[in-house]
Amino acid sequence: MSYTGPEFESPQPRRPRRGPLTVALAALVPGALLGWGVYEALGDGGSDGEVRTASSASSASSASAASASSASRTASSAPAPAASRGDDGKVSGSPSAPSSGSGALQGKVVVIDPGHNPGNFRHTAEINRQVDIGTNSKECDTTGTSTNDGYTEARFTLDLAHRLRDLLEREGATVKLTHDGDTPPWGPCVDERARIGNAAHADAAISLHADGSDAGNRGFHVILPGSVHAGAADTRPIVGPSHELGVRVAGTYLRETGEPPANYVGGGTGLVTRTDLGGLNLSTVPKVFIECGNMRDNTDAALLTSGTWRQRAAQGISEGIVSFLRDS
Tens digit of each residue's pLDDT, the chain (328 residues): 654 433 333 333 333 433 333 333 333 344 333 333 333 332 333 323 232 323 333 333 333 334 433 333 333 333 333 333 444 444 333 344 444 446 889 999 999 999 999 999 999 999 999 999 999 999 999 999 999 999 999 999 999 999 999 999 999 999 999 999 999 999 999 999 999 999 999 999 999 999 999 999 999 999 999 999 999 999 999 999 999 999 999 999 999 999 999 999 999 999 999 999 999 999 999 999 999 999 999 999 999 999 999 999 999 999 999 999 999 8
Residue 282 counted as domain residue: yes
By residue range, what is the domain housing residue 127?
A: 44-70+95-327
CA distance 140 to 189: 4
Residue 14 counted as domain residue: no
Q: For helices 307-327 and 57-69, what crossing angle results, to 10°? A: 120
Residue 287 counted as domain residue: yes
Catalytic: which of 7, 153, 259, 291? 291
CATH code for the domain in which residue 288 is found: 3.40.630.40
Residue 141 counted as domain residue: yes
pLDDT reported for residue 282: 98
pLDDT reported for residue 248: 98
Residue 10 counted as domain residue: no
pLDDT reported for residue 19: 38
CA distance 227 to 17: 26
Residue 75 contacts residue 263 (beta carbons within 8 Å): no
Residue 258 counted as domain residue: yes
Residue 175 pairs with which residues in a beta bridge? 110
Is residue 244 annotated as part of the catalytic site, yes or no? no
Both ends of the chain: CA-CA distance in Å?
Answer: 29
Residue 145 counted as domain residue: yes
Residue 19 counted as domain residue: no
pLDDT reported for residue 2: 52
Name the domain count of the chain: 1
CA distance 155 to 166: 17
Residue 208 pairs with which residues in a beta bridge? 114, 290
The pTM score is: 0.74
